[in-house]
Amino acid sequence: MIKTTVSRVFLFAAVLFAAMTAASAEGEQADELKILVYGATGKVGTHVVDEALQRGHFVTAVSRDPSRIQRRHPHLSVVAGDLLDAESIADLAVGQDVIVISVRGIIGKSKKPENAIQRIAVEKVVNVLREIGDDAPRLIHVGGSGTLEVEPGVLWADKIPKIFVPKSLELEIQGQVLALDYLRTVSDVKWSYATPAKNFTNGERSGVFRIGGDALLEDARGKSRISRADFAVALIDEAENAAHVRQRFSVAY
């Protein structure tokens, strides 16, 4: 009789502990973020939107042509916006927790990397966040692997044979380098520069990867790769945890 009573007490305690743990986990999941995504229709941006929605966050997907975004979800808002227009950025940024920039391209027919959209975009967003002040959202910019170092002081971009790189892509890579250089001068806004491995793949989401810094990460076979789905996992991890504020971090298998 005594043994039976003791067993029931332990069983009740175990059930109560499990219930409290589950409630705690639900409480943690209830802390949703409001995430504004520029480039939501791109190959990376679509994964970022999906990953954020999967975790219960509220996503505002920005496009110059909102009709291009076919995804429907209770936590998804689709809006028109211009990343090169400070007033448009300000209208959308207020009240957000995180802004993600995942864009590429060159304005017009410019031959100058300073006119890469990603370079201009980060400066315009940073200036808007400065105007908002203490309540400004954090910025996570998706950079390029060309900015990673293959050895101290030597970028992967410097090692890519120019004969294989179209001039427009070369300008975009240089634009990403300039974007990182610019962000590293910014000390009054919370930013992170997320950098993928050398090779992006269409692989499935595994949730298993490594986080690095400025050096290009390679696996045991000398390959530097990450799926867009897993890169999105790492990016939303950063949105949730703010582990690399005013830093660049890289993601690879």
Give the tens place of pLDDT for each residue, 97-142: 999 999 988 887 878 899 999 999 999 999 999 999 999 999 999 9
Cβ atoms 129, 96 nearer than 8 A: no
Q: Which residues contact 201 (CB under 8 A, 6 or more apart)?
A: 225, 226, 227, 228
Q: What is the pLDDT of residues 10-35, one digit of tens each?
A: 333 433 333 333 333 333 454 899 99
The residue length of the chain stands at 253
Tell me what pLDDT residue 121 has. 96
Tell me what pLDDT residue 1 has. 45
Query: Bridge-partner residues for 59, per DSSP?
Result: 35, 76
Please, which pLDDT band fits residue 166 given cuts at 50, 70 and 90?
confident
Tell me, what DSSP letter sits at residue 127? H
Helix or strand or coil: residue 252?
Answer: strand
Tell me what pLDDT residue 8 has. 43
Q: Which residues contact 165 (CB under 8 A, 6 or more apart)?
A: 173
Distance, CA of 10 to CA of 219 (rounded, Å): 47
Cβ atoms 176, 114 nearer than 8 A: no
Q: Which residues contact 43 (CB under 8 A, 6 or more apart)?
A: 200, 228
With a pLDDT cut of 90, the percent of the chain lying above it is 74
Distance, CA of 34 to CA of 146 (rounded, Å): 30
With a pLDDT cut of 70, the percent of the chain lying above it is 88
How many other C-beta atoms lie within 10 A of the C-beta of residue 128? 23
pLDDT greater at residue 51 or residue 107: 51
Q: Which CATH number fits domain 33-252: 2.60.450.10, 3.10.20.30, 3.40.50.720, 1.20.1730.10?
A: 3.40.50.720
Tell me what pLDDT residue 49 has. 97
| Spatial CA neighbour of 196 closest among 141, 155, 143, 122 | 143
Question: What mean pLDDT comes out for the span 82-94?
Answer: 96
Question: Looking up tokens 């009789």, which residue turns up?
Answer: 1
Helix or strand or coil: residue 245?
Answer: coil
176 CB-side CA count, 13 A: 26
Please, which pLDDT band fits residue 167 given cuts at 50, 70 and 90?
confident
Tell me what pLDDT residue 220 has. 92
- Structure tokens, 53: 């929605």
Q: What is the pLDDT of residues 194-241, one digit of tens each?
A: 999 999 999 999 999 999 999 999 999 999 999 999 999 999 999 999
Angle, vertex CA 248, rays to CA 98 and CA 122, nearest 5: 55
Number of H helices and number of E strands within the chain? 7, 12
Q: What is the pTM of this model?
A: 0.86
- Structure tokens, 86: 């400070």
